[in-house]
């Protein structure tokens, strides 16, 4: 069973840890897939409601709110798809969803009916989100093979393997 120098407790721990991490990632993917299916189903229901709101008598605020809400759902769906493909949250898409959500609230409630402090806070919020969207262009991407977390993890694993090989050789 146990042969000295072959299976150290740390290497067995790494094997079990890898299996646990893969299992948890699989469970997480199943959760995200179920969210995608639920969100898609909700979007279909929302499209039906939107077409029903287009029937006379036509209420502009309801139609506009439905269209903007559907756009928010589409962006959230895209965010989940990107997460499934790249195992990361897209900052750009998240900021875009936040901008559309804030604008939807302003449009639905109306700028003239909203308190001036809320309009000012919404403007500041939109400015910050716009700044984040512009700054995101200059931030280095964490995909396309340039993942700082994975690079640090590889360095740590290499250092751990080096230390283990030194300890085993002594």
* Residues 91-147 pLDDT 10s: 888 888 898 888 888 888 877 788 888 889 989 999 999 998 888 777 665 555 555
Q: Which residue has the higher pLDDT, 148 or 127?
A: 127
pLDDT category, 153, cuts 50, 70, 90?
low
pLDDT category, 86, cuts 50, 70, 90?
confident
- Mark residue 90 as left, alpha or beta (left: phi above 0; alpha: psi -120 to 50; beta: remaining): beta
**Sequential DSSP letters for the chain:** ---TTTS-HHHHHHHHHHHHHHHHHHHHHHHHHHHHHHHHHHHHHHHHHHHHHTSSSP-HHHHHHHHHHHHHHHHHHHHHHHHHHHSS--HHHHHHHHHHHHHHHHHHH-TTTS-HHHHHHHHHHHHHHHHHHHHHHHSPPS-TT--HHHHHHHHHHHHHHHHHHHHHH-
Average pLDDT, the chain: 81
Domain boundaries, the chain: 9-169
């Amino acid at each position: 069973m146990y042969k000295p120098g072959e299976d150290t407790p740390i290497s067995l721990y790494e094997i079990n840890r890898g299996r646990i991490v893969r299992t948890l990632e699989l469970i997480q993917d199943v959760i995200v897939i179920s969210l995608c299916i639920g969100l898609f189903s909700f979007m279909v229901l929302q499209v039906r409601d939107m077409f029903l709101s287009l029937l006379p008598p036509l209420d502009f605020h309801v139609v506009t709110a439905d269209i903007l809400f559907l756009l928010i759902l589409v962006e959230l769906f895209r965010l989940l798809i990107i997460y499934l493909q790249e195992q990361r949250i897209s900052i750009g898409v998240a900021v875009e969803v936040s901008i559309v959500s804030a604008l939807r609230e302003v449009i639905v409630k109306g700028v003239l009916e909203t308190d001036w402090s809320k309009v000012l806070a919404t403007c500041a919020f939109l400015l910050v989100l716009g700044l984040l969207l512009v700054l995101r262009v200059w931030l280095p991407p964490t995909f396309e093979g340039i993942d700082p977390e994975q690079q640090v993890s590889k360095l740590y694993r290499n250092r751990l393997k080096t230390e283990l090989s030194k300890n085993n050789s002594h």
